[in-house]
Amino acid sequence: MDSFNSLDYKGWRERFIVTILRIACILGITLIAASFPTATATDRILFISLYLLLLAITVFQVKYTVRAFALLFMVFTIGVNSILAWGPWLDGSIFFIAFISLATLLFDQRVDVIALAVSAFTFVLIGTLQQLGIYQFKSPDVPATKFIDWAAYTVNFSIISAILVIAINQFKKEFSHWSQDMKTAFQKLAAERAQLEDRVRERTNESESRAAQLRSSAFVSRTITEMQDISELLDTVTRLISEQFESYQVGLYLLDEYKKTAFLQAASSAAGKELIGQGFRVEPDRLNLINQVVEHNRPYLTSDSDNTNFVSDANFPLTRSRMLLPLTVRKNVIGILDMHSDQPQAFNMQDAEILQTLADLVAISLDNVRLIIETKNLAQQLESSTSAQTHETWAKFTTRNKPAYQYTPAGVRPIFVNNKQNEPGGLHVPLVLHGQSIGNIILKRKGAAATWSERERILVEKVAYQVALALENNRLVDETRKSALRDQVIANVSARVRETLDVESVLRTATTELRRVFDLKEAEISIGAPKLENAADKKAAAEHKAHTR
């Protein structure tokens, strides 16, 4: 704006006249001092009066027109005084030219033409009076002047002054055009600058809003990532999104396995909580917003300003803007995040991009919680199965093995009937394996002292745990060895049997191997139907019977 003001012509003239007045005040002293010794008393009074007037309009705050006319008056007066003293032979024309130039520069109206006419009239008047003898020049040294001298002087002055006036006016005109062009250019620049500032302000506001949304999204993400209860996760998601993103209603729907029904699982508003558990059909309809999201797997935005796509919901009459986001896991839509706002045009695509990322994280969290729950259930089932199998296995194992061993001063001896489990005193620690008690450790101190410290009890429990593991390992090793022996026996029998292709030989060899492996008194292998209807069949079956004693 400062540059624009510098191109203002009127402002320039005001600064210009002030500068001229100040220069005239400084140089006026020199002119008065130089002409004062030779000047007449009248000239001295005139010069001093004009200088005082010059000081007055320079020092005091007066209007521009007063200063301009006063300056023209002083220049004109000095020029007239010079003409009256020396006629057309000295410097009077200089002051009149300055008078016309200043009039052209300082005023927009035709003051310059008036000044030119007044100057020419002054020359004609003084020349006429001088030629008629009515007036004589003040200085006796002025050469004789004829009428033709005045006429030539006036014509020459008028031509030069007219050229000067036309040139200055042309300059003023071009300067005015240039000033107007620059003014227009500056206005355009100012408008563009204002638009640019508005755009920068809008972008700044958008960036701040986007940063706030990202911070809110990160806060919600950090909160829900640590949750492992699905009900708490659903309630927290709807509540935090409603608070952080200023939506008066946030609902979370989960789809059934056929994606035909969306069940509302959580809501942030009181009206939404009343609808929890209800199912909403996912039908292929343009007005069914849930179907639009599930079918296209992308966000859906709508507002009441868009009459073609907006669908009012009787359950939420305050809604003016709505955004639905798919909850996607591995490109599979498992639910919908539904956000309502009571403000028009509350959501845009940038909001959808940020919130879609949050919705994807919510979907992943839901899937992770589901997997964690399934894993826990499976682990519990495996633990229960392992515990039951352990109980059954050790119950069978203890029935065919010695039940206990006891350490006495005489040494370690087996106990076939353990009656000390219910005796008072001592320390009883169970041998626990997979949640099942497979035995006991019973410790008894020497003498009357029967108390055990907590530290000792913990130590014995650790020993009992290691003993239980060692017993289980030994049992597994024993079962593995027996299984290996069984496999070896089966392999040997199979190998011997496969040595021949004759049926009689196969039966004889199999019978012999079974008797030898199991150390049997008698082994018999027979083939054929279990019941025979006639004697012929009995005879044929007898031929295929192998018997070994």
Same domain, 68 and 134: yes
Residue 458, domain extent: 402-488
Look at residue 135 and tell me if it is in a domain: yes
Q: Which of 190, 224, 242 is the last residue of a domain?
A: 190
pLDDT at 43: 80
Encoded amino acid at 438, one letter = I
Same domain, 255 and 311: yes
Q: How far is CA 205 from the centre of its chain?
A: 12
pLDDT at 447: 64
Same domain, 507 and 479: no
Same domain, 475 and 503: no
Same domain, 151 and 281: no
Same domain, 328 and 443: no
Helix (H) or strand (E) holding 514: helix 503-518
Look at residue 386 and tell me if it is in a domain: no
Look at residue 217 and tell me if it is in a domain: no
pLDDT band at 460 (very low <50, low <70, confident <90, very high): confident
146 has pLDDT over 60: yes
Mean of pLDDT values over 315-337: 89
End-to-end CA distance of the chain: 128
Query: For the chain, what is the mean pLDDT?
Result: 81
Same domain, 20 and 46: yes
Q: Facing residues of 325 across strands?
A: 337
Same domain, 47 and 146: yes
Look at residue 179 and tell me if it is in a domain: yes
97 has pLDDT over 70: yes
Q: CA Rg, the chain, in Å?
A: 61
Same domain, 49 and 174: yes
Mean of pLDDT values over 419-433: 70
Interatomic CA distance for residues 334 and 124, integer angstroms: 108
pLDDT tens digits, 356-400: 888 888 888 888 888 888 888 888 888 777 777 777 777 777 776
pLDDT at 530: 59
pLDDT at 340: 92
5 has pLDDT over 80: no
Quick one: tokens of 41? Answer: 């008393």
Interatomic CA distance for residues 25 and 301, integer angstroms: 77
Look at residue 395 and tell me if it is in a domain: no
Number of domains in the chain: 4
Q: Which of 375, 410, 442 is the last residue of a domain?
A: 375
Interatomic CA distance for residues 157 and 118, integer angstroms: 12
Phi and psi at residue 265, in whole multiples of 5°? -105, -30
Instruction: Please work out, in degrees rounded to the nearest 5, the angle formed at the alpha carbon of residue 326 by the alpha carbons of 323 and 327.
Output: 130
Q: Facing residues of 336 across strands?
A: 253, 326
Helix (H) or strand (E) holding 322: strand 321-329
Decide if 266 contacts 276 (C-beta within 8 A).
Answer: yes
Which residue do the tokens 């002087």 mark? 153
Interatomic CA distance for residues 443 and 265, integer angstroms: 57
Helix (H) or strand (E) holding 77: helix 64-86
Interatomic CA distance for residues 493 and 275, integer angstroms: 71
Question: How many CB atoms are closer than 10 A to CB 236?
Answer: 18
- Tell me the residue length of the chain: 549
Same domain, 255 and 121: no
Look at residue 396 and tell me if it is in a domain: no
Look at residue 228 and tell me if it is in a domain: no
Look at residue 397 and tell me if it is in a domain: no
Q: What is the DSSP code string of 251-307? A: EEEEE-TTSSEEEEEEESSHHHHTTTT-EEE--S-TT-HHHHHHHHTS-EEEETT-T
Same domain, 64 and 137: yes
- DSSP-derived 3-state class of residue 502: coil
pLDDT tens digits, 58-91: 888 889 889 889 988 988 888 888 888 777 777 7
Same domain, 53 and 138: yes
